[in-house]
Amino acid sequence: MSATAAGVAPFTGDRAESIEMIRDSARGLLGSDMARVRKLRFTEPGFDPALLRQMAEAGWIGLAVSEDAGGTGLGQAEMVALAEELGRASAPEPLIGCALSAHLLAAAGEGELLGQLLAGDAVVLTAWQDRANTLSLAASADGARGFVLGAAGATHILWPVQEGGRVALHVLARDQVEITTEATQDGGHLGTIRPLPWSGHGPGRHVADDIGAALTEGLDRAALATAAALLGGMEAAFAMTLDYLRTRQQFGKIIGTFQSLQHKAADAKMQIALTRAAVEQAAAALDEGAPSHLVSRAKARASEAAMLVQQACVQLHGGIGYTDDYDVGLHMRRAMVLVPAFGGAALHRRRFMELSPELEDA
């Protein structure tokens, strides 16, 4: 069995050390206190702008943006490690959405707004879809677009538009759009964005003629980062569950000694290991410029495994796991929001079948 298939990171030496340093940095900044997450639920913007600025100052938003464009110039393996820690902390900050916008702005050569985003002076999110569970760009240039996590905190919106067979990029300031929000299961929100009436060629300010390839690549990166966040949430919930199984007593015995519970925990551990292998292999493939079908495999597996593992963790806690006061439920609610983000399991299974070179040659 290969190192990747076994769930071991496929990196050694300096690269492995760099990834571990990012993990340590993320854990130090995010902490492990879920009280912060609870305090932010059902508020707007639903995240801590000051912490998002700290993330930007730490180089997280521009982690995979080239140094020439003002970013950190690291790879997808580092971004995956960071996203995993975000998921482990159930952090509501829209870092993945901001990283997608940074990627598009860098491709467009829009240095001024990119600099503001990377410095934490702007919160730039991308509105690209007009229906759920799709990776396709909205058909209309001026119709409503939705499913933007953390939209209430945005200072700017990126608005890709089909123009003459290409994908142009426009930037809209906050006062050029109407944003309505809908609460999500984790206490955050999804935003629906409508551009206000404009004159000229398309909404807002035109900044690039063709970012189609960058949008496709950026959505791949965002889908993989979301899979990694789901992985981090699974591992955090599972660690809490193991602690509970080792300490909770029933009928005079530690419940972790009950064989039926051991079987359920073993199934959850297997799902986590398979997800880690898929996510890390996809990150390594993206860094090597390989086809993106591995991203779809990772997102499909993470989306399915997350719900299986989170439900198992809640059940293994018994009645307390179903209460809102217990932290394991926060991870399950976060997973319910992230599973459909950037495409759910069914979409990515279909996409894997379409893109897989092995299947094409069969």
Tokens 């394991």 correspond to: 328
Predicted local distance difference test score (pLDDT) of residue 362: 45
Supply the pTM of this predicted model.
0.94
CB-CB neighbours of 2 under 10 Å? 9
**Alpha carbon 218 to chain centroid, angstroms:** 12
Predicted local distance difference test score (pLDDT) of residue 254: 81
Predicted local distance difference test score (pLDDT) of residue 101: 98
Would you write out the chain's pLDDT as a tens digit for each of its 362 residues? 333 433 444 677 788 898 999 999 999 999 988 999 999 999 999 999 999 999 999 999 999 999 999 999 999 999 999 999 999 999 999 999 999 999 999 999 999 999 999 999 999 999 999 999 999 999 999 999 999 999 999 999 999 999 989 999 999 999 999 999 999 999 999 999 999 986 555 678 999 999 999 999 999 999 999 999 999 999 999 999 999 999 887 777 887 778 888 999 999 999 999 999 999 999 999 999 876 799 999 999 999 999 999 999 999 998 888 888 889 999 999 999 999 999 999 999 999 999 887 665 54
Cα separation, 215 vs 138, whole angstroms: 12
DSSP code for 358:
H
Counting beta carbons within 10 angstroms of the beta carbon of residue 303, is it exposed (0 to 12), middle (13 to 18) or buried (19 or more)? buried
Beta-bridged to residue 336, according to DSSP, are none
Domain 226-361: assigned CATH number = 1.20.140.10
Predicted local distance difference test score (pLDDT) of residue 291: 66
Domain extents for the chain? 226-361
Cα separation, 110 vs 125, whole angstroms: 14
Question: Helix, strand or coil for residue 145?
Answer: strand
Residue 126 — φ and ψ, nearest 5°?
A: -110, 130
Predicted local distance difference test score (pLDDT) of residue 292: 76
